[in-house]
Amino acid sequence: MLHTLYLGLFKHLMDRIQGFLKKHGQLETFDEVWKALLPYSGFLACKKAYHEVTQSQEKVQQNLGRCDLGVLAVAMLQPGSAQLIPCKGALRCKRVLVNFNMMAQY
Q: Kindly report, residue by residue over 26-57, the tens digit of the pLDDT.
A: 888 888 888 888 877 777 777 777 777 665 55
| pLDDT given for residue 58 in this prediction | 64
The SS3 of residue 68 is helix
Name beta bridge partners: 43.
40
Residue 12, CB-side half-sphere exposure with 13 Å CA sphere: 8
d(CA 82, CA 87): 9
In this predicted structure, the answer to whether residue 22 has a pLDDT above a threshold of 60 is yes
Q: Where do runs of H (alpha helix) occur along 24-83?
A: 27-36, 58-75
**Domain limits at 92?**
2-105
Domain count, the chain: 1
Helix (H) or strand (E) holding 16: helix 2-23
Chain-wide mean pLDDT for the chain?
Answer: 78
Confidence band, pLDDT 50/70/90 cuts, at residue 60: low
3-state secondary structure of 43: strand
Question: What is the pTM assigned to this prediction?
Answer: 0.72
